[in-house]
Amino acid sequence: MHLDEIKQALLASYRSDGGINHLDGVNLPSQESVNLLAADCMHLLFPGYFEESPLTERELPSLVDRLLARIDKRLMAEIEKCVRFAKVDDPAAVARRHTTSFLAQFPELRKIIKTDVDAAYAGDPAARSVEEIILAYPCVLAISLQRLAHVLYHLKVPLLPRMLTEYGHERTGCDIHPGARLGAHFFIDHGTGVVIGETATVGAHVKLYQGVTLGAKSFEVDNDGRPIKGVKRHPDIGDHVTIYAHATILGGDTQVGSNSIIGSNVWLLKSVPDDSVAYFKGDNLVIRSRRKTESLVGNSGSPTHYHDWEI
């Protein structure tokens, strides 16, 4: 088959198999531009860490000037494309307003992102320095970009928030939807294969290991069988929770209580109370209280014990 024949077959395909063509429409955001935006944002969050030469405090204002100007120009252009796609009135003015709102969040975002770095250092005995964590730990990129994208998500900017988190997903294997609400001191150890859905909430001081899924149990559908958007589908995780490797927690009604531990490979479809441990014992899921309770035998000297529930 000659190239011209292939070309004609492709052109025929574009005419007959629409839906994955974007022709004669508005200019969509550029993935390459969004990736450069993500990299510049990381430089602005962590000055001195990703530069090719050492950065002095005296040079810092000049660097911030350059980064802010570059991010402002690029972000405004990409947001304008996004809101034009959504047919918003006066897209240039909306893009200007959203860009300014986004950049104004950086000081507060740096405060909470520092807690994530602190959590990684405190939570991993293999970590030798904060520098190692910022330069090499995948959770820093994945969580930082999600927190940035979360701002755009709440500004109701279409397309761009998910493109930002996808840059982190491609680089780290952590797929965190920009709609998810993440508490302070969040640490994902190793990272690969972690999935956190749009309507999930994660409390403060939560630690996840690789392969954890905070996902949807099922989808509500309309009369035509299409998923209904915007409903609560993903679980809520309380404060001071640890979830070990490859655990799967599903459902918008599922809550993991504070101070709980979810063991490796646990498949959880129902809520567990505060101060629980969930693990498999044979083929049964056991949910056990972490609180020690005295035996009711009185002063017989019986040892303390735990309450166990098998499901």
Per-residue model confidence as pLDDT tens digits over 146-195: 999 999 999 999 999 999 999 999 999 999 999 999 999 999 999 999 99
Residues 106 and 199 in one domain: no
Long-range contacts of 83-91 (CB under 8 A, 24+ apart): 83/157, 83/158, 84/26, 84/27, 85/25, 85/26, 85/28, 85/158, 85/159, 86/158
Model-level pTM?
0.90
Please, what is the average pLDDT of the chain? 92
Which of residues 146, 164, 182 is at a domain's end? 164
Residues 34 and 130 in one domain: yes
> How many whole angstroms separate alpha carbon 196 and alpha carbon 177?
6
Residues 34 and 160 in one domain: yes
What pLDDT, in 10s, does the model give residues 35-60?
999 999 999 999 999 999 999 999 99
Residue 256 domain flag: yes
> How many whole angstroms separate alpha carbon 96 and alpha carbon 94?
5
Residues 149 and 220 in one domain: no
Q: For the domain that residue 220 is a member of, what is the CATH number?
A: 2.160.10.10
Residues 117 and 158 in one domain: yes
SS3 for 158?
Answer: coil
Residues 303 and 198 in one domain: yes
- Report residue 271's pLDDT band, with 50, 70 and 90 as the boundaries: very high
Per-residue model confidence (pLDDT) at position 292: 66
Residues 150 and 237 in one domain: no
Range of the domain at 111: 26-164
Residues 157 and 208 in one domain: no
Q: For the domain that residue 85 is a member of, what is the CATH number?
A: 1.10.3130.10
HSE-up (13 A, CA, CB side) for residue 133: 26
- Number of domain units in the chain: 2
Per-residue model confidence (pLDDT) at position 265: 96
Residues 218 and 289 in one domain: yes
Query: Per-residue pLDDT for 294 more than 60?
Result: no
Tokens for 57, please give them. Answer: 């405090």
Which of residues 113, 144, 164 is at a domain's end? 164
SS3 for 13?
Answer: helix
Residues 139 and 30 in one domain: yes
